Amino acid sequence: MAAAMEIEVSADDVVYEEDVLRDPFRLSGWLRYLSGRVAAPPAKRAAIYERALRALPGSYKLWHAYLTELGDAARALPVTHAAHAGLNATFERALAAGMSRMPRLWHMYASSLLQQRLLTRARRVLDRALRSLPVTQHHRVWPLHLRLASLPDCPAPTALRMHGRHLQFDPDHAEEFIAFLVSAGRWRDAAHHLATAIDDEGFVSVKGRTKRELLLDLCGLLAQHPEEVAGMPVDAILRGSIRKFPEEASMLWTCLASHYARRGLHGKARDVFEEATTTATTVKDFRMVFDAYLHFEHAMAAAELELGQADTVDVQDCWLADRDSTDLTMARLERLLERRPELLNSVLLRQNPHDVQAWHERAKIFHKDPARHAATYVEAVKTVDPAKATGKPPHTLWLALTKMYEDRGSADCARDVLHRATQANFTAAEHLAAVYCEWANMELKHQNPETAIDLIRQATMPPSIEATMRTAAAGGEDVRAKLHRCLKLWLVYLDLMTTHGSLESTCAVYDKMHDLGVITPLLVLDHATLLEQHRRFEDAFRVYERGVRSFKHPHADAIWEAYLTKFVQRHGESRPERVRDLFQAAVLQAPPGRKKAVYLRYARFEEDFGLASRAMKVYEDAASAVPADDKLCVYEVYIARATELCGLLKARDVYRQAVVGGGLPDEGARAMCVGFADLEIGLGEVARARALYVHAASFTDPEVCPEFWKRWNDFEVLNGDESTFREMLRAKRTMAAVARDGAGTRRAIGTDGRLVECAGQRLDCAQQCKRIRLA
């Protein structure tokens, strides 16, 4: 520096020299001097900096600018050049001059030393920086520590200590520390810190990784490097992770087993696999664990076979030789494959222990093992709660257990099971009824019909008043209180009484079903048929009568049909008044859709067993009582029967009744008019027929019903003249105009053949058509 001080001052320096000499302790004068001599040689600028720092040794700006220029100059030179040593010395002088509180200078100094690959000196400088700077500024120094630790020349113990110290200062550095430990092969330390991070509830990954991803990394370390992590509580770590992350249970169990397998602890590995398969709660986890277990056993079998082929030493005669190891390994593999359905079924039952279908499938697995088969059903009926049962009804478990005992000849055991089943808390009366029915069927197979009848009689007995009151006081509803209303039980009861009882006992069962309201229309018919077979016709008719009172349309239709048929066959000729009363009752009870059939049947009865006048009266009543949609059909039958029984005059009266006040819709009224006209034409009454055509034309649109107008046209061609034909054409045009305007007047026909409006005025056809045309 003495040489630098001896540099001559040029003319350009005079102004700056005078300024700094006048006031050497003013920073701005030195800064102007340095700014004005930017192009000066480095040695001259260094001399200026030295003079300025001698006057102002505590100026951060001067030291920073000076060190920056020295660093830039030395960066382009080899690390062995003397400029680097001078730079380091200048840094030390700056720190000694009071710049040790400036983190930027420490950073520049350490960076320069790292560039020079002076690692030990750089580490010591960084330690000094941490001691000199306040804690709030340590975050500016730690990156250089990590940079130093990541250099290839940095010894591993040094790097490990530096990362550890940084972790104490900054917990967010945990992931970088773990990555360093993995890259350095420090598997145990990496696993320890990973486990700590996973257990820490407040840990948040700065890289956005979830604890599940960290857990996967930990499992990989523990499984792939078992020897390196020896001494760590691997079992406790992984089991704790299983409890904390149950969704990853399969992967964690597999990693634990792989850890033991890589350490050569094959027995421990099997124990882990067994525990995993017997505790898996999802099919996905079970499949993953089982596949890993199967792969492990395959690998063990392959290793045993390879070892047996490579062994060239004959040890067959040695009593220590393990002759059965290969066979034992193969047996384990076969046994594992055989157990797969059982293990999978256990998973399903752990998911839902009330799955009845799963219990049935489990019993099928042990169908060749009677003891386990029975034990499975016993466990099922103890485990399944009928209120939570799914898949199948819960009573099927009891019935399956009963059938198993019955097939093996243990009837007493089967009866005991059924007795216990009747005491079970089923939620539906049908389930309890199925148990009683199965019990009765079993007794029938063993030739005990009386026992079966007693069972069903007891099951169908209504509960006592005391039992009903106790159930109501308990606040619940016992299915046994509903059992006596279960149709399935009554059907079995009927079958038993039909085959093993008397007529009176069978009829008593039917009567009880009637009283309880559980009988069906088909059973009513069966009851009546049974009585008819025993020629108790009046009792059968009482059954029919009770049935039609108990049921409504449409369920009573079949009963009425059979009732009327049988009653007419029995009393149609001898007691017609009773039959008429029955038909009148049927008509009153029949719904509108059934009235036509009942009336026609009634009329047919009067034709066969009564008077024609009575039949005509029934047809007349039917025409007025049936719905509008059925009137046309009734009138057609009425007219046909009136023509056959009473002649054409009666048919003409029926036609008039249908056309004038029959209440037919337009289409039906038109058909009646045409038929009436054909009748009048047959009698030679052309004028009356024309009047009917005129009447029907008043509500017939030519575009909608062209066949009617063609029929009238043909009638006029055969029976009319020019004037009547012209009137027909005029009426057709008028009705077409009325249809286009959307308005018309409904007319009726009078006794004299002229048109009559609904208001009562009489107009002939020509006047009516003229009025419509003028309007």
How far apart CA 581 and CA 563 sit, in angstroms, is 13
Backbone angles phi, psi at 225, to 5 degrees: -130, 60
Confidence of residue 364 (pLDDT cuts 50, 70, 90): very high
Average pLDDT, the chain: 81
How much is the average pLDDT of 467-487?
A: 73
Q: Which amino acid is at 758?
A: C
pLDDT at residue 356, rounded to an integer: 94
Residue with tokens 């089923």: 426
pLDDT at residue 514, rounded to an integer: 92
Taking alpha carbons only, the member of 628, 763, 749 closest to residue 680 is 749
Which DSSP letter does residue 482 get?
A: T
pLDDT at residue 21, rounded to an integer: 82
Which range, 62-71, 188-197, 400-409, 738-747, has the best average confidence (pLDDT)? 400-409
Least confident residue range of 40-49, 73-82, 225-234, 727-736: 225-234
pLDDT at residue 314, rounded to an integer: 47
pLDDT at residue 154, rounded to an integer: 56
Which DSSP letter does residue 529 get?
A: H
Q: Which amino acid is at 394?
A: P
Residue 755 has pLDDT above 50, yes or no: no
Between residues 321 and 135, which one has the greater pLDDT?
A: 135
Residue 71 has pLDDT above 60, yes or no: yes
Confidence of residue 319 (pLDDT cuts 50, 70, 90): very low
What is the bridge-based pairing of β-strands 762-763 and 747-749? unpaired
Between residues 69 and 316, which one has the greater pLDDT?
A: 69
Handedness of CA 409, 410, 412, 416 (dihedral sign): negative
Q: How remote is the C-alpha of 527 from its chain's centroid?
A: 47
Residue 400 has pLDDT above 90, yes or no: yes
Q: ∠ CA 432-436-442 to the nearest 5 degrees?
A: 145
CB-count burial class (<10 Å; 0-12, 13-18, 19+) for 573: exposed
How far apart CA 108 and CA 88 sit, in angstroms, is 10
How far apart CA 767 and CA 432 sit, in angstroms, is 83
What token pair was written down for 283? 């099919």
Which DSSP letter does residue 536 get?
A: -
Q: Give 136-179 pLDDT, tens digit per residue.
A: 777 777 676 666 656 665 555 665 565 555 554 555 556 666 66
pLDDT at residue 472, rounded to an integer: 61
Residue 46 has pLDDT above 70, yes or no: yes
pLDDT at residue 179, rounded to an integer: 63
CA dist list (Å): 435 to 424, 483, 513: 10, 11, 20
Percent of the chain scoring above 90 in pLDDT: 27
Handedness of CA 626, 630, 632, 638 (dihedral sign): negative
Residue 610 has pLDDT above 80, yes or no: yes
Residue 355 has pLDDT above 70, yes or no: yes
Q: Give 562-594 pLDDT, tens digit per residue.
A: 999 999 998 888 888 998 899 888 888 888 888
Cβ-proximal residues to 585 (8 Å cutoff; 6+ apart), any chain: none
Least confident residue range of 225-234, 257-266, 316-325, 549-558: 316-325
How far apart CA 108 and CA 641 sit, in angstroms, is 127
Q: Give 415-451 pLDDT, tens digit per residue.
A: 999 999 998 888 888 999 999 999 999 999 999 999 9
pLDDT at residue 379, rounded to an integer: 93
Residue with tokens 């770590």: 237
How far apart CA 72 and CA 77 sit, in angstroms, is 10
DSSP string, 128-187: HHHHHS-GGGGGGTHHHHHHHHTSTTS-HHHHHHHHHHHHHH-GGGHHHHHHHHHHTT-H
Confidence of residue 747 (pLDDT cuts 50, 70, 90): very low
Residue 101 has pLDDT above 60, yes or no: yes
What token pair was written down for 169? 């200062």
How far apart CA 236 and CA 242 sit, in angstroms, is 10
Total residues found in the chain within this entry: 775
What's the maximum distance between 2 C-alpha atoms anywhere in the chain?
Answer: 162
